[in-house]
Structure 1
Amino acid sequence: MSSDSDVEGSVSRFEELPMRVGLGQFMDPTEKRLRYVKQLGVDDILLNMYQYDPDYEHMPDDERMPLEGDDEWSVENLIALRERVEDAGIRLNAIENVPISFYEDVMLGGPERDEQLEKLKRTIRNIGEAGIPIFGYHWAPAGVWRTGSTSVRGGAFVSAFDAGELDSTLTHDREYTEAELWENYEYFLEAVLPVAEEAGVDLCLHPSDPPMERLGGVPQLFRNFENFKRAMDLVPSDNHKLDLCLGCWSQMGEDLPEVIRYFGERDEIGYVHFRDVEGTVPAFHETFVDEGNYDEYELLSTLDSVGFDGMMIPDHTPHLEDDTDWEHRGRAYTVGYLRGMLRARRAETRGE
């Protein structure tokens, strides 16, 4: 069992930690939220910054982060953020998903691409200087799509997707080609990976959600195993890794143990979103971690067998009775389930 002193003593040595259960997908680490995290037996978090709130002290005053002025996401603010988390005996593992507007032109090859790239590079440098080892990102200008909701066990609510309910509305100014998106992605990697290497930050790529061929006229590059292989080989770097969202991979219908073995043996899994769905594209709905498409214990065991030593967090969870917007009850269920599986795996490997 970890103690607060264990956490404080190892907060800067993530490489020495074992595979473990974390939490995330909230923005403001209030004292109440951090206490709750510790009460669940969790010592590791990521903070998800995809939402913009001008009143939040750790975000810039201007969402578009202009090159001039004092409204950058500063090293000082990031250090204050990390120290606030550490004061609660918790490690801040990652910053995930700055707002799309920070790099939309980078993804689509727009007129502000190079300006936005400079902002991203400064952000990566600042994250590294602040002692935060991971920056999670996506490559989905059209965003995350769902077409509705449904209920699962006991009437818990979950999100659902059915491509048959989509229309042909464009999300941007025109249709984009897959070749354009690949060219833009390579341009992005060539620009930011040297910065990440220098800063000591791993860049972790999230899959397209849902992994359709295109949405709103925009190709969804990261929709299958082959495209991820291509992405990881496009610009070789030890600092380019995956945010392995098992729910998205489950939506694809890929062989998940094979996926884990392939990227895990190459040391390309940065951290894991541990969730599941029922069904695959073009229609699926989210569900409890123990009721989806895959064998959850098999995947956890496979992660362990390939030497994965990062953080696993509950991703989207069912909305339980009297839950909050963050689904704190659904997340507590998933944390307990993951901790139980991890303990069983440890007992199993001790007996081998």
Structure 2
Amino acid sequence: MMKISVTVNMCDLTDRDLKQMCQLGIDYVDFGKGSSFPGVQEQGYPDLDQLLQLRRRVRSFGLDMNRVTLPDFTDRFMNNLPGCEKELENSSLAVKVFGEAGLLIVRQRFAGDTAPVLTNGYKAVQRGGAVARGESLGLMKNKPEMPSLKEWERFWSRFMEAFRTLVPLAEDYNVKLTVHPSDTPNHGTLFGGLGFHRIIDAFPSKNVGFVYCVGTRAEEGGSSLVMDEINHYGRKGKICLVHLRNVRGSLPTAGAFEEALLDDGDLNVFKILLELRKVGYEGCINPDHITQLEGDSIDLDQNWAHSGIGWKSSSIGWGYSIGYVRALLTALAEFEGKRYGH
């Protein structure tokens, strides 16, 4: 049966954080920043002993760690600049450390996977004054140039070099190596629908998969694209974690999109869970990009303004989203005549 996870962007979780997660019925914690793990700043990759201490602490509250993040590949690596080989070495060592710690889903980030930025962000005000992230193609008047074919090929060459090293390690340490779709999913972004196909064509390993982001993919093609991709990648066992959010509009249909509360967008979230269940998905559902409700604080990161990216204790939006997903999973279990819960 599917479980619930939330993303945090730091490792120094307080007792308040962990108690609230337990009280809300969260099962797992996902760690979204590779640089946040103890040891990364000092040596370039996580320290195993401190990582195990962190996991023991999380488990003492009835939770566990789910997805973790490798050190980033920066522009230095993607442009093959002097010293870039150290980044690949650090990610390789991180795979080994996470595998030894029993953390079996890792995400790798690549600089440039979301460029160029063709949309202009804005504050989307929705029912009752709720605030969400919006992005529009039409509002961006001075659009940057698209990458040339040569630049596109260089990105894929560097991606291939990284994965040729990381995939065998993932297999050796029984780790799922994943990427997240490009967000925002503008035309020409590398990890869109075609990019996902290229990845599994080049690396058909059972240890290669995706953090499947429902919201990002809906922004590229709406509900029908999401359902088709879940069916396609789910049947191949390539969905390792699901980011669940609802959106209004899409770039192809409206030239814009707005994130929305789970019950207030274009997607039927329960149908999405049914489709995931149909293809045998039993991983975590992670409600992400939380709409800001009255009393909640706006995210200070301007790259994600008006969107709750990481967990915040006592956030009404987080509490709403987690409760909504728990209710849907309970309904799904009842629908199937099974039991859900602890």
TM-score clears 0.5 = yes
Deviation of residue 104 (structure 1)?
3.5
Deviation of residue 142 (structure 1)?
6.1
Distance in 2, Cα, partners of 1:140 & 1:208? 11
* Number of the residue aligned with 2:41: 61
Distance in 1, Cα, partners of 2:266 & 2:111? 24
Letter in 1 for 2:179: L
Task: Please tell me whether residue 20 in structure 1 is matched to residue 3 in structure 2.
Answer: yes
Distance in 2, Cα, partners of 1:176 & 1:156? 43
Task: Please tell me whether residue 289 in structure 1 is matched to residue 262 in structure 2.
Answer: yes
Task: Please tell me whether residue 277 in structure 1 is matched to residue 247 in structure 2.
Answer: yes
- TM-score, normalising length: structure 2: 0.84
Verify the 8 A CA contact 2:69 2:108 in the aligned structure 1.
Answer: yes
* Number of the residue aligned with 2:190: 221
Verify the 8 A CA contact 2:123 2:133 in the aligned structure 1.
Answer: yes
Structure 2 residue runs without a partner (length 5+): 300-310
Deviation of residue 59 (structure 1)?
4.7
Deviation of residue 26 (structure 1)?
3.4
Task: Please tell me whether residue 48 in structure 1 is matched to residue 32 in structure 2.
Answer: yes
Deviation of residue 348 (structure 1)?
1.1
**1:193-234 deviation digits (Å, cap 9, x = unpaired):** 0111112211121000011124xxxxx21122x321121121
Count of aligned pairs between the two proteins: 314
Deviation of residue 149 (structure 1)?
1.7
Verify the 8 A CA contact 2:218 2:250 in the aligned structure 1.
Answer: yes
2:331 to 344, 348, 351: 344
Structure 1 residue runs without a partner (length 5+): 1-17, 67-71, 215-219
Name segments (4+ residues, structure 1) moved above 6 Å: none
Verify the 8 A CA contact 1:140 1:208 in the aligned structure 2.
Answer: no
Deviation of residue 165 (structure 1)?
3.6
Distance in 1, Cα, partners of 2:105 & 2:240? 8
* Number of the residue aligned with 1:84: 57
**1:241-297 deviation digits (Å, cap 9, x = unpaired):** 110110100111152111111111111100110012111124211111122222111
Task: Please tell me whether residue 316 in structure 1 is matched to residue 300 in structure 2.
Answer: no
- TM-score, normalising length: structure 1: 0.82
Percent identical among aligned pairs is: 28
* Number of the residue aligned with 2:13: 29
* Number of the residue aligned with 2:99: 128
* Number of the residue aligned with 1:183: 157
Deviation of residue 58 (structure 1)?
1.9
Residues 78-117 of structure 1 aligned to structure 2 (within 5 Å): 78-96=51-69, 98=71, 100=72, 102-117=73-88
2:205 to 229, 232, 237: 237
